[in-house]
Amino acid sequence: MKAESAPTRERPKILPSNPGKIGESRPRADGVPKVRGEFEYSSDLRVDGMLWGATLRSPHPHANIWSIDTAEAEDMPGVYSVLTHEDVPGRKVYGMEVPDQPVLAWEHVRYEGEPIAVVAADHPETARRALEKIAVDYEILDPITDPAEALREDTPKLHLSGNVLKEVHIKHGDVEATADVVVSGEYEVGMQDQAFLGPESGMAVPDGRGGVDLFISTQWLHIDRDQIAESLDLPPEDVRLTLSGVGGAFGGREDLSMQIHSCMLALDAGRPVKMMYNREESFYGHVHRHPCKMEYEHGADREGNLVYVKARLVFDGGAYASSSNAVCLNAGTFACGPYDVPNARIDSYMLYTNNPPCGAMRGFGAVQVCFAHETQMDKLANKLGMNPVELRLKNAMKPGDKFPFGQTVPEPAPVAEILERVENMPMPEEEEIIGRDLRRLPGGVSNVTRGEGVKRGVGYAVGYKNIGFSAGFDDYSTASIALSVEDGEPIIYVHTAAAEVGQGGVTLQAQISRTELGVENVAVLPADTRIGSAGSTSASRQSYVTGGAVKMACEAVRGKVFERVREEFGDEFGGELSMEDGSVLAGNRRIVALAELLENGGIEETVVYRHKPTYPLDENGQGDAHFQFAFAAHRAVVEVDEELGLVRVVEIATAQDVGKIMNPQSLEGQIQGGVAQGLGLALLEEIQMKDGKVQNASFTDYLLPTILDMPPVRMEVLELADPDSPYGLKGVGEPPTISSTPAIVAALRDATGRELNRVPVKPEQLAGIEGEPIRRAPQPGSRGPVADDLGSEA
Amino acid sequence: MKLECKVNGENREADGVREGESLLYILRERLDLPGSKNACEQGECGSCSVYMDGMLVCSCLVLAGQAEGREIVTVEGLADENELHPVQKSFIEAGAVQCGFCTPGLIVATHDLLERNAKPSDVEIREALAGNLCRCTGYEKILDAVKLAAAKNGNGA
Amino acid sequence: MIPLKFDYEVAESAQHAVELLGQHGDEAKLLAGGHSLLPIMKLRLAAPTVLIDIGRLNDLNYVREDGDKLAIGAMTRHTDVEHSDLVKSECGILAYTAGLVGDPQVRHRGTIGGSLAHGDAASDLPGVFLALDAEFKITGSGGDRTIAAADFFEDYLMTALAPDEILTEVRVPKLNGAGWSYRKFNRRAQDWAVVGVGAILERSNGSISSARIGFTNMASVPVRASATEQALSGASVDSIAEAAESAADGTSPSSDIAASSEFRQHLARVLTKRALDEALSR
């Protein structure tokens, strides 16, 4: 291996924090710079001589490219580099699981917004204008936008491998089972966007020796690096990544966006290149949550015991693979919900289409099926004349049961307990509707109702998903702990490549180190590729896997400390050795201060931590695919204006098992934030597509919940330790997003009596008015038609 | 064109400004004040909120020329050298910061709210901050932070 | 995101703005608060080559009594209208509706004149001014003229303003005890109206002497609910529900990502009834 070259940019100074131990709420280490506006996000990076990159994107969802002429753009003053697919030095495609996505398109474009060329110039506006000078000769083709159409034999194939990207078939028990009571339904989930607030951005800096440093917001530095190196045709050690401040992620930064482009431009121009998407471009620049259509049939006996579940899931994977394979698998395995289902037949399909590529988003396959299985459970309860919570309790899975994919349900699996908890939580006070402050009515200050037509409803849902990477994936994290003495005080340096995307991982690493080594000063170094991979900040896995790695590295350091103590002081202490308050203790007796023990040199240990192995599913969809499961239940109370279809969510109550509360304040933040995204999917958020084109690529028309839309979240947290995980903890980030959506929709059904088989629920549905939206161009800043394709208005 | 304005109490000027540049762009790229964030650039998300002549505005929708001669205060101008403003402290203490991208705009908007209304009710807080999107927190801890800041102000902190 | 290239000029007075408009022809646009124009310029949906900044015309920022009317300068900001005691007491619907435009940051920059001159039927104020039978004072190279709100909005983003004219003042009648209501349907607080309804109701001796109802976003221009207005003229207060049934008659609102045409008509009927009920009780 080559010697590592020096970084080309000065690193920000790392200030040690005093993090507190695990279980304590302590202010986050990055809080001060964030509230002062001094935290350096990737979009804030700048160095002297820096150029600005910009990306030419296809306006067509499906087209052949006959030629690309960049001559005019290259001649523009201020333009330093114009690159196309011909300039990609190495592998011309990339992808995390399946490298099928062109770095820059050649011959075909398969979705609207697909990158075709990139430009670097001395001002962002010059770069944009240069893009307008690039001539691309397209032959426009009909887009394939319906996954059901893509699945048909006679549909043209978008990729050589065909249109079926992945299929998972689960056969569990008697797949022909019949039952006395049967309910069926068809359900649909729209395309949700992660809508992190900090758009994609980064800065690539050439090192003058052929290599490149990239300062970037991402969820997983090493998988980025490996893909970049392949496409640049460089050895991985010549591509060094450092995490910059990340403005949220939620799955949307797991795939590459501008990483390879900025490095190509920087290497070509010989100057640092910064790229920064705007909001509109961001909607084209990352994958979205898969839209999904689901057909379900549940069979039960007359007492309400589930006999079978049959489900057919059809996901729209969009133009390229991203992490669709894993989403397809996840959805298949969780399609029945957290219930003891003796017989099941699940068919999960992932299709290529000319829609935007879809991939990871919080909940990852579990969100879509949870909406369907929970709606089915309510339907079944209704048909049986049972209370919906009672039906769920009756069928709740327990440790020792078999999942439909054959794995045994491990301890703990408190499905019944969390349901009982949410059912027993106090209901929000029912305030008299007439005379109430407008702001506590549907529609709020917009004054649509003073109480006319308003009805209240309550709904329940429960969901679950796996934590971490599954099905045989080698899922690990690397951590290095250095314990030394500075200015007479012991200090711990923690180094991992785990991406802090806002979730609080940096604080947690410090807390673990503080807890394990009894040292107050802890500095967490910037995440970068100088150390081994930490895996992705996704799948609710970093507390477990990188947390486990940090803990294990601390244990290794502690072992070395004790060794040194024994070397210097013998091994007759009359008590177990421990580390506390900067000293080594035996029982309660102080043996030596670390400042003294480490005077002549610190201790550093680097470890790789792996959770227990998982295995791929066999041809019947059976196997020990997952290593940990997290459960949450939700109760929603809503008020609906029946005539207008407007909703006020009054309260969300939730119970979730987290194994061990590592940091109460950040746990609450994860739960509240996750619920907000579930609420968004239930009521507001959808990327609206028409003929393969995005209709609402702006925050004007893509509706994120505001502070007026979010109700208080009442929560109870269970700490049922997982015997296999560090501290017994479970991943917490995703469960709040999974069953909050169906709980809200169940409450809407309770209030209105309507079916509501699709999310997000539109006011039209709630008000009982039909009507198909007609295409209109997105018009941020204005709601009327502007462009010429707006015939419907005339 | 040339732009002169007062930013965080200092007279600043920028040369070679293009007419189409926004105040946000000028603050971030020309005056080395990247604290105000660019999340939507359409006036929808509030991440770029600053004071202009004492009014809370979205700096992405203020054109360079419109800022000429004005007095601007950004998130960078709220704290003393060493001491955070009570609003800033409260956001940290209440856990209202996750990824933090919305935080600068929310800090300025909260500062503005408490200037006008020292003890806002929950619904008043929600109404005042509805122009500031946050994707991480679900807003509950932001609400807590504003109430905490109001309490701190009330105690003369 | 930076708009296409343009020249920037600052108007020192309304007259100066008119002169500048005359010099630059119809490629020029007036810039007031900029909160309607700048977003679409950034998206390249509008590309004037000259922007004439009238935002510094402080003498056009006022609210004054003028007999039985209120005169409001075109550069008065939404927030000033929202908080004006005079507007609140004499023309409550206007203060109320100005407080529903966008979010606080938008109301701090956006102006009454800018909103009207932009001519977007989806913004809240045009429909309310229409219901108020407001008059708009316009200054141009040929001098001043006054035009009724009903004649001002010509088509989508098109008004009666000539290329060298500037809107300087808006006059609205004092409500003198007439009941009023503005109801705005949006899926999310502080968004653009999917549909809005402004209603002003004059009562005498237990019956309705006149009803004036203006719609937001029910057509390419703000429109009145004429059928309902006629049905209510001189009618009993008990006839509101029935009259509101005809609120959407004759409208053909657009279908778009926010709502279908049919749903907009439904909203117009329900909101008209509710607005009239509220106006009656106020």
pLDDT one-digit tens code per residue, C74-117: 999 999 999 999 999 999 999 999 999 999 999 999 999 999 99
SS3 assignment, position A233: coil
Q: What is the CATH number of the domain that holds B125?
A: 1.10.150.120
B63 and B118, same structural domain? no
Q: Which residues of A53-81 are buried (b: 16+ CB within 10 A; e: fewer)?
A: bbbbbbebbbbebeebebeebeebeebbb
Angstrom distance (rounded) from CA B147 to CA B129: 13
Give the count of Cβ contacts less than 8 A between chain A and B: 187
**Burial status of residue A107 (CB atoms within 10 A of its CB: 0-12, 13-18, 19 or more):** exposed
Q: What is the CATH number of the domain that holds B15?
A: 3.10.20.30
Beta bridge partners, A52, equal: A121, A274
For β-strands A521-524 and A489-496, DSSP reports them as: parallel
For β-strands A306-318 and A343-352, DSSP reports them as: parallel
Looking at residue A788, its amino acid is: D
What the block records as the tokens of C127 is: 């429909």
Q: Which residues of A150-162 are buried (b: 16+ CB within 10 A; e: fewer)?
A: bbeeebeebbeee
B48 and B16, same structural domain? yes
Question: Would you give the DSSP letter of residue B26?
Answer: I
Residue A783: which of C2, C35, C120 has the nearest Cβ? C120
Residue A584 is predicted with a pLDDT of 97
Q: Which residue has the tokens 């807590």?
A: B144
Residue A571 is predicted with a pLDDT of 81
Angstrom distance (rounded) from CA C149 to CA C147: 6
Question: Would you give the DSSP letter of residue A14?
Answer: P
Kindly state the greatest CA–CA separation across chain C.
Answer: 61
**CB-CB neighbours of A305 under 10 Å:** 14
Residue A780 is predicted with a pLDDT of 30
Closest CA to A265 of A125, A96, A122, A101: A122
Residue C281: φ, ψ to 5°: -90, -5
Mind telling me how many Å the CA of C28 is from chain B's nearest CA? 14
Residue A794 is predicted with a pLDDT of 28
Q: Which of chain A's residues have a Cβ under 8 Å away from the Cβ of B127?
A: 439, 444-445, 708
Q: Which residue has the tokens 């490298």?
A: A99
Mind telling me how many Å the CA of B19 is from chain C's nearest CA? 6
B72 and B10, same structural domain? yes
Residue C6: which of B19, B55, B68 has the nearest Cβ? B19
Q: Is the peptide bond before A412 cis (omega within 30 degrees of 0)?
A: yes
pLDDT one-digit tens code per residue, A270-289: 999 999 999 999 999 999 99
**C-alpha distance from residue A159 to each of A61, A67, A321, A323, C42 (Å):** 14, 21, 10, 16, 36
* C267 touching chain A per CB within 8 A: yes
Q: Which of chain A's residues have a Cβ under 8 Å away from the Cβ of C118?
A: 782
B143 and B101, same structural domain? yes
A667: left (phi > 0), else alpha (psi -120 to 50), else beta?
alpha
What the block records as the tokens of A523 is: 């500095």
B135 and B98, same structural domain? yes
Say if the Cβ atoms of A447 and C262 lie within 8 Å: no
**Burial status of residue A571 (CB atoms within 10 A of its CB: 0-12, 13-18, 19 or more):** exposed
Angstrom distance (rounded) from CA B142 to CA B148: 10
- Return the partners of chain A (3 or more C-beta pairs < 8 Å): B, C
Question: Would you give the DSSP letter of residue C128?
Answer: H
Angstrom distance (rounded) from CA A369 to CA A293: 9
pLDDT one-digit tens code per residue, C193-216: 999 999 999 999 889 999 999 999
Is the distance from CB of A115 to CB of A33 less than 8 angstroms? Answer: no
Angstrom distance (rounded) from CA A675 to CA A669: 10
B126 and B144, same structural domain? yes
Angstrom distance (rounded) from CA B65 to CA B17: 9
B120 and B55, same structural domain? no
Residue C108: which of B57, B63, B130 has the nearest Cβ? B57
pLDDT, mean of residues C118-131: 96
Query: What is A239-307 written as a DSSP string?
Result: EEEEE-B----TTTTSS-SSHHHHHHHHHHHTS-EEEE--HHHHHHHS-BPPPEEEEEEEEE-TT--EE
Number of domains in chain B: 2
Say if the Cβ atoms of A448 and C188 lie within 8 Å: no
Angstrom distance (rounded) from CA A659 to CA A661: 7
pLDDT one-digit tens code per residue, B64-107: 999 999 999 999 999 988 899 999 999 999 999 999 999 999 99
Q: Which of B77, B107, B129 is the last residue of a domain?
A: B77
Looking at residue B150, its amino acid is: A
Q: Which of B55, B77, B99 is the last residue of a domain?
A: B77
Is the distance from CB of C227 to CB of C250 less than 8 angstroms? Answer: yes
Closest CA to B112 of C255, C107, A605: C107
* Domains of chain A and any CATH numbers: 144-395 (3.30.365.10), 476-610 (3.30.365.10)
Beta bridge partners, B57, equal: B50
Kindly state the greatest CA–CA separation across chain A.
Answer: 92
pLDDT one-digit tens code per residue, B28-77: 999 999 999 999 999 999 999 999 999 999 999 999 999 999 999 999 99
Q: Which residues of A443-476 are buried (b: 16+ CB within 10 A; e: fewer)?
A: bbbbbbbbebbbbbbbbbbbbbbbbbbbbebebb
* A779 touching chain B per CB within 8 A: no
- Superfamily covering domain C179-281: CO dehydrogenase flavoprotein, C-terminal domain (3.30.390.50)
**To probe the interface with C, which of B4, B38, B52, B58 has the most C CB atoms within 10 Å?**
B58
**ipTM of the prediction greater than 0.90, yes or no:** yes
Q: Which of chain A's residues have a Cβ under 8 Å away from the Cβ of C191?
A: 700, 703
Cα radius of gyration rounded to whole Å, chain A: 27
Residue A646: φ, ψ to 5°: -90, 150
B134 and B96, same structural domain? yes
**CB-CB neighbours of A223 under 10 Å:** 17
Query: What is B94-155 written as a DSSP string?
Result: TT--SS-SSHHHHHHHHHHHHHH-SS--HHHHHHHTTTS--SSSTTHHHHHHHHHHHHHHHT
Residue C44 is predicted with a pLDDT of 82
Cα radius of gyration rounded to whole Å, chain B: 15
Read off the pTM. Answer: 0.96
Beta bridge partners, C218, equal: none
**C-alpha distance from residue A312 to each of A169, A217, A291, A622, C47 (Å):** 9, 37, 14, 17, 50
Residue A716 is predicted with a pLDDT of 98
Angstrom distance (rounded) from CA B137 to CA A197: 12
Question: Would you give the DSSP letter of residue B8?
Answer: T
B117 and B61, same structural domain? no
Mind telling me how many Å the CA of A766 is from chain C's nearest CA? 11
Q: In chain B, how many H helices and how many E strands?
A: 5, 5
Q: Where in chain C is the domain with CATH 3.30.465.10?
A: 62-172
Q: Is the peptide bond before A760 cis (omega within 30 degrees of 0)?
A: yes
Q: Which of B14, B48, B77 is the last residue of a domain?
A: B77
Q: Which residues of A554-565 are buried (b: 16+ CB within 10 A; e: fewer)?
A: bebbbeebbebb
- Residue B91 CA from chain centroid, whole number: 13
Mind telling me how many Å the CA of C145 is from chain B's nearest CA? 29
CATH for C7-53 is 3.30.43.10
Angstrom distance (rounded) from CA A240 to CA A221: 9
What the block records as the tokens of A192 is: 């949700």
What the block records as the tokens of C108 is: 């701090």
Is the distance from CB of A306 to CB of A376 less than 8 angstroms? Answer: no
Residues with Cβ within 8 Å of A493's Cβ and at least 6 positions away in sequence, in order, are A480, A481, A482, A483, A484, A522, A523, A524, A525
Q: Which residues of A705-717 are buried (b: 16+ CB within 10 A; e: fewer)?
A: bbbbbbbbbbbbb
What is the span of the domain harbouring residue B15? 3-77
Angstrom distance (rounded) from CA A352 to CA A359: 12
Residues 697 through 726 of chain A touching chain C, CB cutoff 8 Å: 700-701, 703, 705-706, 708-709
What the block records as the tokens of A624 is: 């020990």
Is the distance from CB of C280 to CB of A788 less than 8 angstroms? Answer: no
Residue A12 is predicted with a pLDDT of 59
What is the second-level CATH architecture of the domain C62-172? 2-Layer Sandwich (3.30)
What the block records as the tokens of A171 is: 């056969």
SS3 assignment, position C96: helix
Point out the residues of chain A with pLDDT beneath 70.
1-15, 770-794
SS3 assignment, position C263: helix
